[in-house]
Amino acid sequence: MRINKYLSGCGIDSRRKCEKLVTDGRVRVNGKTVIELGTDVKEGDAVEVDGKRVALTFKKIYIMLNKPKGCVCTVSDDKGRKTVIDFVNIKERLFPVGRLDYDTEGLLLLTNDGDLANKITHPKNEVKKTYSVRVEGEPTAAELKRLRNGIEYNGVKYSGADIAVIGAEEGATRLEITITEGKNHEIKNMIESLGRRVLFLKRISIGGIRLGGLSRGEWRYLNSREIEYIKSL
């Protein structure tokens, strides 16, 4: 089995991210560092990531977390910041599916299923992600139209978003914005392109999966309907 597929099957991360672990020189097979993505692993090989032995896992785990602000969406952080994994007290290895910014809160999926992570994050699957967004001031109809049609900002193209105006708040407007791309800082950049700031950002759904009433920092296992939904993508 190819090294990235093997590592992903061990629940380390998605296949794409596992490729980077290899090229970064963090993976050893039978005591030797391997950096070739073509490396094959066979039964009985001793595989280590950052010096820790890993093994294929067959039990797949799917969790949702209501990510609070002030933590990073990685398994470990070299700056010592709190990570989303710190909130989930189970013994199996998990990794976050995609990213929310340090100061963004809301629905985050965690799993040890690398294939599933790819399905959700791959742009070709166009999985809808909806955010509750508090925007500075009152965006005009023309501004919202620009975002609905799609924009280019700082050399990056953002496809059109679905936008619902939820209501006016003090000095601000509450929107619900649905996107399918998941580019870096996508919502913040869209709003910044209007010369406005995002004051609050929370993801409330990923496709058919909704955050519901989970409190900040709380997590739960996905139910069978939610798992079926993801597998059907």
- Which residues of the shown chain bind ligand URA in the complex (CB under 6 A)? 100-101, 104, 185-188, 201
Residue 12 vs 187, nearer CB to ligand URA: 187
Long-range contact list for 212-216, CB < 8 A, 24+ apart?
Answer: 214/64, 214/65, 214/66, 215/66, 216/66, 216/68, 216/105
Distance (Å, whole) CA 13 – CA 75: 9
Give whole-number Cα distances, 146 to 138, 180, 193, in Å: 15, 17, 10
Q: How far is the CB of 182 from ligand URA (least distance, A)?
A: 7
Residue 162 vs 228, nearer CB to ligand URA: 162
Residue 19 vs 186, nearer CB to ligand URA: 186
Are 5 and 42 contacting, i.e. CB atoms less than 8 angstroms apart?
no
Backbone dihedral angles phi then psi of residue 52, each to the nearest 5 degrees? -105, 130
Residue 84 vs 187, nearer CB to ligand URA: 187
Give whole-number Cα distances, 18 to 22, 41, 51, 66, 82, in Å: 7, 14, 15, 25, 22
Q: How many CB atoms lie within 10 A of CB 167?
A: 8
SS3 49: strand
The type of residue at 20 is K
Q: How far is the CB of 153 from ligand URA (least distance, A)?
A: 12
Query: Which residues belong to the active site?
Result: 101
Residue 158 vs 219, nearer CB to ligand URA: 158
Q: How far is the CB of 112 from ligand URA (least distance, A)?
A: 23
